[in-house]
Amino acid sequence: MPLVEIEDLRVSFSQYGGQIDAVRGISFSVNEGESLGIVGESGSGKSVSCSALLRLLPATATVSAKSIKLDGIDVLKAGKEDLARLRGRSAAMIFQDPMTAFDPVFTIGHQIAETIQSHRKVSKREALAEAEQLLLRVEIKNARDILDYYPHQLSGGMLQRAMIAMALSCRPKVLIADEPTTALDVTIQAQILQLIKKVQAEFGMALIMITHDLGVIAETVDRVLVMYGGEVMEEGPVQQIFDAPQHAYTKALLASLNTSFEPSRGDDTATAPALELRGLAKAYRIKRRKGLFTTYGDFHAVRPVDIVLPRNKIVGLVGESGSGKTTTGMMAMRLTDPSAGQILVDGTDISSLGAEELKSFRRRMQIVFQDSYSALDPMMTLTQIIAEPLHIHGVGTAREQTEKALGWLERVGLPRSFGNRYAHELSGGQRQRVAIARALILGPSVLVADEPTSALDVTVKAQIIGLLKELQAEMGLSILFISHDLSTVKSLTDSVVVMYRGRVVEEAPTERIFSDPQHPYTRALLDAIPATNPRDKRERTFVAAEQLEAATPRYTVIQTGLAPNATPQLITIAPGHRVEAIVTT
Amino acid sequence: MIGYILRRLVSVAVTFIIVSLIIFFMMHAIPGGPFDANDMPVSQAVRDKMMANLGLDQPLWVQYTRYMWGVLHFDFGVPYQSPGETVTQLLSRAWVPSLVLGGLGVLIGAPLGILLGMAAALNRNTWIDYLASTVATLGLTIPVFVTSMLLILVFAVWLNWLPASGWGKPERWILPITAYALIPLATYARYTRSAMLDTLNKQFVTVLRAKGLSERRIVFQHVLRNSAIPLVTVFLPMFIGTATGSIFVEAMFRVPGLGAYFVSSIEGRDYPLEMALMLMITFMYCIAYLLSDIVYALINPRIRFGGQP
């Protein structure tokens, strides 16, 4: 008998203005020890189906099914006792954002121990001892200390490990992982995925992996369910789905995974770069309080960096959260004031311009943000939003502004009839198109794009990248594209700058970064990219931060022609290829 | 933590001085004085003598310094309107009914309000929620003198169960305290409901359910504690603020409390009494905010252990 058996599951939500069918009659089963992947974009019903399995849906949801059985229990009829057995013991769940998944006012140890105690009669002391063992099994080294930590004191990766430990605490028969790595950095994602596979084998559990990312699927599961619009499009062994996809949606998903290098066609003959950052740095003052006295220290968000954005080119700025990439982008736009350094736009330093002069410069530089929802004013129509820059800079009459805005709507692939709509009526991808139209309507020469595709579904992501590429060629734009993910920039950028802990550690043409990475951090980033085919999945060894520092590349005086220097510095090793390294004799 | 409390105490002292300055000079900025001609028909010479006796002929800053010097020694002066006693004596006499009224009102109203708010949040969009919201909205929107009159009409006039006004015997307390308790009840119910709903919608509550914890444990251990964090900053100051009683309720039920003196001291330019009342309230609010900040830090680990350890 299968562990999980779902037949003709339907879920609908009652909302103002009627019913929304989130899941329309899906069936699947999971056997003991099996790994099933459910892949689909947001709104496809993949999370809802699994929440229904544990009866975690809100009261507004109506659930019906021919049968939902988990571990032999009829889920829909389960009483209090059965429900407590289902949740935690038959199935355990890990969630997308570990930062919000823990109760902030209790320690990690308390939260794992209470899970154990709610299922078995053990003392608090025993439960805590068990929690420590579990933390060790998810490769947390200082497990005993971590027990006493509060959630806000740990990083996202650590919290997700603790979350897995908590899920394991009652030896569940199936582990449901709902986008467990989407909120994490790429390098951490690879570690967590490997950990999930490891504990699955150790504890002999079944696994249901819910994700929008085919790479995650390729790395972790045996069998795949492709969902779209609340229905199952396709089901089969993972290799078959990757090699011989049947459904058009599956094919589109796979196409977005396999990208190739496409350098931009722009000419490089112009002498002055569109944007040049010279020794740009940002330090924040932090207060340290000691009794009645306050002392100050500096936190260096960005150490002095030099970045050149040539005219007509796209440069990727890649790094994990906290690497300083967004701060650098914000400083380049003068949205954050730099502590030191120069920002040269078409050869003019704008780092010390006053408000008036800066305003006219803003016409040449625009920005697109990650969260398109909060970046668009909810009270304005799309036409008003797109035309606003024209209004601010006093370009044309009101009628001309509206006409131009409508024209731009079409140019970014939206119908003119959308002009009177509001931002909340659009999907994430459509909103990002509006944000792009607003940024480009003034005809800037430089565009800073801060993770514009991170919040989007894979297929939509590919469309937005395509749009940016197209507009870049048409308008002769120079784009600084900020991303945490090397695979995103692969098909878009001409060169890549890798940032790590506020420093630039490597810089090279995109193809060279992928084929010949020099810095250990760049290599770690590349290695962490999930396989694009289950055939290519492999065991990974991860390097700790200290090991990264120790593995800084070394070059000899003869190779570089520079004086020996024990402090790491950026060294040019090939045309356009710089790497942070130590020069030895 | 101790450093934090010390720093806060310093800021309380500074606040106290600034507020006392503002009150003192605003009080004297109002035209007129305690012995104005139409109130007291005496000759100019007598009036000058009386002013000199009370030190009112001195420059303002001298008066302020003298008064505050007295305050430091717990000497709040002699009220002009009843020169037979000191301000301290008058306050300790008149404060008792106000404290009983306000204190019992809050002690009864606040827990009931919190329970009502919890019941509403846990039974969202059911009749319990609608009832609780109605009670809370009515309690907040109907002025307390209207509810007082209704209470008197129903329980004293129609049913004749309870005396309409006065103080002294405990049965006379019931109506004013009921009228007064409705204010904290309504306010606390609304705040509690929204704070609880906020917490119930958090992701970690779903996680707690998925772990198989009982609903009771989720609500009473996790949700309650998290909801309490935003609530303490509102509740404690409100608690102390309302504990000083209500001018309106005291007037409606003819309770011989502090309320009347707030009005009469300003009207009669009774500077020492007015100053004492204001300083008392300022002091209590300062302490209330200090306490609520300390409690806030105690129940919120994000404040207790800022950032990385």
User: How does residue B309 score in pLDDT terms, banded at 50, 70 and 90?
Assistant: very low
C-alpha–C-alpha distance, residues A477 and A301, integer Å:
28
**Residue B305's pLDDT is what?**
67
Selected residue with higher pLDDT from A539 and A397: A397
Q: What is the mean pLDDT of residues B40-47?
A: 76
Average pLDDT, whole number, for chain A? 89
Residues in B closer than 8 angstroms to A92, CB to CB, are: 210-211
DSSP characters over A411-471: HTT--GGGGG-BGGGS-HHHHHHHHHHHHHTT--SEEEEESTTTTS-HHHHHHHHHHHHHH
Among B6, B209, B212, select the one facing A292 at the smallest CB separation.
B6
Is the Cβ of A291 closer than 8 Å to some Cβ of chain B? yes
**Is A159 in contact with A151 (CB distance < 8 Å)?**
yes
Residues in B closer than 8 angstroms to A322, CB to CB, are: none
Chain A residue whose CA is closest to B228: A105
Residue to substitute from B14, B204, B296, interface A, most A β-carbons within 10 A: B204
Predicted TM-score of the model (pTM): 0.83
Is the Cβ of A114 closer than 8 Å to some Cβ of chain B? yes
**Is A318 in contact with A486 (CB distance < 8 Å)?**
yes
- Summarised one tens digit per residue, pLDDT across range A497-551 is 999 989 999 999 999 999 999 999 999 999 888 888 888 888 887 877 778 777 8
Which residues, listed in sequence order, are joined to residue A365 by a DSSP beta bridge? Answer: A446
Among A54, A114, A290, select the one facing B213 at the smallest CB separation.
A114
Using the predicted structure, report yes or no on whether residue B122 has a pLDDT greater than 70: yes
Residue B19 C-alpha, separation from nearest chain A C-alpha, in angstroms: 23
Q: Is the confidence metric ipTM above 0.95 for this complex?
A: no
Is the Cβ of A153 closer than 8 Å to some Cβ of chain B? yes
Residue A346 C-alpha, separation from nearest chain B C-alpha, in angstroms: 41
**Residue B82's pLDDT is what?**
79
**Residue B46's pLDDT is what?**
81
**Residue A156's pLDDT is what?**
87
Residue A413 DSSP symbol? T
C-alpha–C-alpha distance, residues B290 and B16, integer Å:
13
Percent of chain A scoring above 90 in pLDDT: 53
Among B204, B212, B301, select the one facing A119 at the smallest CB separation.
B212
**Residue A436's pLDDT is what?**
95
- Summarised one tens digit per residue, pLDDT across range A359-389 is 888 999 999 998 888 899 999 999 999 999 9
Q: What is the mean pLDDT of residues A72-82?
A: 86
Is the Cβ of A87 closer than 8 Å to some Cβ of chain B? yes
Among B3, B210, B217, select the one facing A291 at the smallest CB separation.
B3
Residues in A closer than 8 angstroms to B307, CB to CB, are: 153
User: How does residue B291 score in pLDDT terms, banded at 50, 70 and 90?
Assistant: confident
Is the Cβ of A102 closer than 8 Å to some Cβ of chain B? yes
Among A80, A105, A292, select the one facing B301 at the smallest CB separation.
A105
Using the predicted structure, report yes or no on whether residue B199 has a pLDDT greater than 80: yes
Provide φ and ψ at B243, rounded to 5°: -65, -10
Using the predicted structure, report yes or no on whether residue B304 has a pLDDT greater than 80: no
Is the Cβ of A299 closer than 8 Å to some Cβ of chain B? no
Provide φ and ψ at A67, rounded to 5°: -160, 140
Residues in A closer than 8 angstroms to B229, CB to CB, are: 105
Residue A411: exposed, middle, or buried by beta-carbon count in 10 A (0-12, 13-18, 19+)?
A: middle
Using the predicted structure, report yes or no on whether residue A17 has a pLDDT greater than 80: no
